[in-house]
Amino acid sequence: MRFYSSGIHLYRANPAKAGRDPATVIREALAKALVPYYPLAGRLREEEGRKLVVDCAGQGVMFAEADADLTADDFGDVQSPPFPCFERFILESTTIAGVEPVIDRPLLYIQVTRLKCGGFIFGQRFCHCIVDAPGGMQFEKAICELACGAAAPSVAPSWGREMFMARHPPRPSYPHLEYREPAGGGADQPDRVLTTHPRDVARVPFFFGPREIAGLRQRAPPGMRCSRFELVAAAIWRSRAAALGYAPDEEVRLSFIVNARGRAEIPLPEGFYGNAFAYSVAATTSGELTGKDLGYALELVKKAKSAVTYDYLLSVADLMVLTGRPLFALSRTDIVSDISHAGFKSIDFGWGEAVYGGPAKGGEGPVLGVTNYFSRAKNGKGEEGTVVPICLPKDAMEKFQLEIEGLTAEL
């Protein structure tokens, strides 16, 4: 997770806040929030075995304010990432050759951009080593509460990372395909997604509303109970494999994030704001995935989803210690993350609910197009559904669209 995750919140003018500068209000609240959340004001240091620790010496976070000759309406009805011209509204860190981008850098970058209509944009970049989406939202809500006059955040932060420490001795007890390259193919057959130049990538948001979900449910095995996430994830995985034209014997994967919060068997302390999830993997050959019906993919997704337990999380920690904390595997892998329940729009600094709240980009991580977000949105008819921005080589996108249309058409 050695990268930054970016978010954008767009706000309209609020007559009740006339004369108040949002940058000043947020900056003062941010300073107060960093007192209980002091690790966020520190810096990461790397120790033996690539182990990361936080030096808590009050180094601070990066904060910038800006002005734009734009109004909130100029951005249109943004329903899903990427946010238009997001690069202008998030404060980027500098790149230092030969140094990993998260070591000895600020763990949080914030930019408040005032708009000429009286609204503003709040842009942030969190170091993903320190927080996940719910943890970041917890911190931002603390800023909101302080900005609105609270004496202290309603939820006290808890560090609690020791509950995910590796065991002594480490004893990984699961295959953990998420950290092993898939079978089949080779150096002479690199993954097209990983080698396509950004200018040759198409980015299209796909909306799964009541009609599309009904079509997918009709293709599920009779009696199988499936969540919306499982249906959409299975459909995207199958369609993506078909569109990219992998050889029938090549292993293809769907890797998705399973949240550990709110589960009785995983005793997270109240106020925990660190990473509380694991990657789980569904794997099969391209020929099996695309040659069988959607029910086959659904079975694999449901099985992988149920595999993540507290013991699984500890097994991941053990594996990290033994293998030098590798990056998760990317080849022939579609990574999906459901952020529809993260509560981005609920971030209110006193100006009201955000017009747009969510990721700045269409995906995070080291390679464009590998990670896809699931978020909630409404279509032109006002119907609510799941929207997923997909990145694929341009010549594969048309095939993907046809595959999705075939799976979501009502029988």
Of the candidates 191, 334, 338, 348, the residue annotated as catalytic is 348
DSSP 15-62: GGGTT--HHHHHHHHHHHHTTTTGGGGSEEEEEGGGEEEEE-S----E
Residue with tokens 């997918």: 216
In a 3-state reduction of DSSP, which class is residue 244?
helix
Question: Could you give the residue ranges of the DSSP H alpha helices within 167-221?
Answer: 192-195, 210-218
Q: Helix count (H) and strand count (E) of the chain?
A: 9, 13
Query: For residue 29, what are its two tokens?
Result: 């609240």
DSSP 265-320: TS-PPTTB-S--EEEEEEEEEHHHHHHS-HHHHHHHHHHHHTT--HHHHHHHHHHH
CA angle 213, 82, 210 (to 5 degrees): 15
> Which amino acid is located at 79 in the chain?
Q
Do 219 and 297 contact (CB within 8 A), yes or no?
no
Burial (CB count <10 Å: 0-12, 13-18, 19+), residue 23: buried
Pick from 106, 91, 112: nearest CA to 28: 112
Active site residue 21: no
Do 115 and 99 contact (CB within 8 A), yes or no?
no
- The sign one gets for the Cα dihedral 167, 168, 171, 177 is positive
- Ramachandran angles phi, psi of 224, nearest 5°: -75, 125
Of the candidates 128, 132, 176, 191, the residue annotated as catalytic is 128
Q: Where are the beta strands (DSSP E) in 152-276?
A: 201-208, 251-259
| 66, containing H or E segment | strand 62-68
Active site residue 348: yes
Do 160 and 268 contact (CB within 8 A), yes or no?
yes
* Catalytic residue set: 128, 348
